[in-house]
Homo-oligomer: A and B are copies of this chain.
Amino acid sequence: MSSSWGNQIKLSIFGESHGPAIGVVLDGLPAGEPLDLDVLLSFMDRRRPGQNRFSTPRKETDAPHILSGFYQGRTTGTPLAVVIQNSDTHSADYAQMSSVARPAHADYTGYLRYHGAQDPRGGGHFSGRLTAPLVAAGGIAKQILARRGVVVGAHIFSVGCQNDLPFDPVGLTAEELAAPGQKTFPVLDAKAGESMQQLIESCRMAQDSVGGVVECGVIGFPAGVGSPIFDGLENRLASLIFGIPAVKGIEFGAGFEASRHFGSQMNDPFRLENGQIRTTSNHHGGILGGISSGMPILLRAAFKPTPSISRPQETVDFQKMEPTQLSIEGRHDPCVVPRAVPCVEAATALALLDAWMEKIE
């Protein structure tokens, strides 16, 4: 299997970059949940490239068509299918599969996996375009969570070595979570955002690309949800977030930083605050023993630089078994991180809703 996920909510993503359509089936959603399609569209819109996001050529094709599971403005509880047409692809341009492996892409591994039968056009099923149905599904999950007081938000934590401010791990608010998504460039600190944008632009000029980190935060998620060992919130979140192309690392709370510190620094003391149990710090990222603690859930996902760069690169032709050089043409995003922000929100919302569904309804 490849593209199915979930315990309570089964998620089945399908499609290739240049096929007729891409989409997702969500099976197991609670029944009777109102969905605001304008909110969904505007969430999906955040997946578009940087400042020009409202004018990209593929804009109109990204409208989600709900084929099932949605009736009179509410979820029915039966499978909800969303399809997004790939109307303006130029399939003929790609009719010949290239056997020249683009470095850091899945051309070669996909060829081995599918014995050459995979659709190679534009990356096929491996394309970043497949995050569109993920974002559609996650946008639906976000609305269902929001109605229960759970707010999910993310921002660019870093691009290369340029860092944004982190989310406040203890006092995180809905406003702070929502703010980045309302900006063209989703950061907390506008200054940091400008430096990042300059760095990205300089990569574009240099025919290069750059990586970055997305931080995602969640408030309002009830304490006591999740499970020990293999079905913990961290396991679930990681298994879904690694489904976003280019993710090479994930950490929760203090994460890798925790490995460099002492227990006396990292243990979060419990305290009472207005009759509620909270912690004075939040190095645990809202998850202890795989189970939510009631504190903000915090995670960071590391994205590698966009593999498609137009500089000449050394590689091989895996059918001729010959070394060769490759220059990747076309406009490519020198940094996927800005567009990855709603993807991480989407995956986070889906994983948390799935975990919570063991309890709610």
Contact = CB atoms under 8 A, between A and B. Distances in A.
A106 B314 contact: no
Interface in A58-76: 65-69, 71, 74-76
Contact of A260 (B28, B211, B323): B211
Interface in A276-310: 277, 279-280, 283-285, 287-293, 302-309
A270 B11 CA distance: 34
Contacts of A20: 65-68
Interface string A254-267: 11101111111111
Contact of A117 (B16, B71, B229, B238): B71
Interface of A: 1-5, 7-8, 10-16, 19-23, 25, 27-28, 31-32, 65-69, 71, 74-81, 83, 101, 103-106, 108-110, 112-119, 124-126, 130, 158, 160-161, 203, 208-213, 223-232, 234-236, 238-240, 242-243, 245, 247-256, 258-272, 275, 277, 279-280, 283-285, 287-293, 302-309, 311, 313-316, 318, 321-323, 334, 358-359, 361
A264 B118 contact: no
A33 to B, nearest CB: 8
B115 A262 contact: no
B68 A302 contact: no
As for how many copies of this chain the complex holds, the number is 4
A174 to B, nearest CB: 23
Given A76-B117, A235-B238, A323 B271 contact: yes
A21 B67 contact: yes
B263 A230 contact: no
